[in-house]
Structure 1
Amino acid sequence: MALAVASSGIAAKVFNSIDTVLNEVEAVNYPTEFSNLLDSPGMPPHVLTLKVGVPIIVLRNLNPPQLCNGTRLTVNSMMSNVIKATILNGKFKGDEVLLPRIPMIPVDVPFEFKRLQFPVRLAFAMSINKAQGQTLKECGLNLKNPCFSR
């Protein structure tokens, strides 16, 4: 975990994941530096930079029905292995929760590796699929490309 100061003056924390290849034989072919570069849609990034107040989205079911995949939160505080956040939408809106670092194994890569990271991504923008079923007070749409046609 590193500390960076952004242009707004608010300190940002950088959380690097811990990636390990599960098959020792494949560890020679897929070094840690390679797995750090992988950025799958359902996985958190290797380098996760967060500030207090940023919106995040949960990538895994942690504590259903309160903390499910797609739940949006705002960061209140950060420690090295726990994020304290407030739920922004749904039945549990306003509840404060703790998000731990958890091990995750992606299924869309040709080899098995484990990433130890917070199961969240920044949620300044989200796809149509992630927004489905959510109620938003304000919404901006980027319609440069046709999104509802093939």
Structure 2
Amino acid sequence: MKSEYNAEIHPFLAGAYARAGLIDKDIAKMLGINVATLYRWKLSHCEFCDALKVNKVVIDYHVESALLKRALGYEITETKIIKDKDEKVIKTEITTKQILPDVGACTMWLKNRDKEHWRDNPEKESENSEGTLHLLVESLNNASKANNRN
């Protein structure tokens, strides 16, 4: 039995599933169709294809932004409320903490954004036998250790 495409419902649902981070296989399952039907609909219904593309870009942007934030490090503000035995607020402490860059996020970002310079096994050895990536990882690990001692 061939699945009936509904131009009012299917683009909306597919877009919502894509924005939620689902991949084509899972989107097809949620729509109650097989993957071949999903691909056929993408080819034959522009609004369906556009809904998937646009919403995948939206979620990818959010993930990319979160990865970049982890790669660069960031600052957070924590609020601690101190209460007495009667649950009455005595004071509020506000502290700012620096979240150090994450080595894994740095590595992933650089390997994907600058493949020529940041691949695991470059065809040409750099003059620096340690390699730039190794030095970055070592530097971030040292910073992390120093922060943990404080």
Aligning the two structures, in what range does the TM-score lie when normalised by the shorter sequence? under 0.3
Computing the radius of gyration from Cα coordinates, the structure with the larger value is 2
Higher RCO (CA 8 Å, separation ≥ 6 residues): 1
Q: TM-score, normalization: structure 1? A: 0.20
Q: Which has the higher helix share?
A: 2
Q: TM-score, normalization: structure 2? A: 0.20
Q: Which has the higher strand share?
A: 1
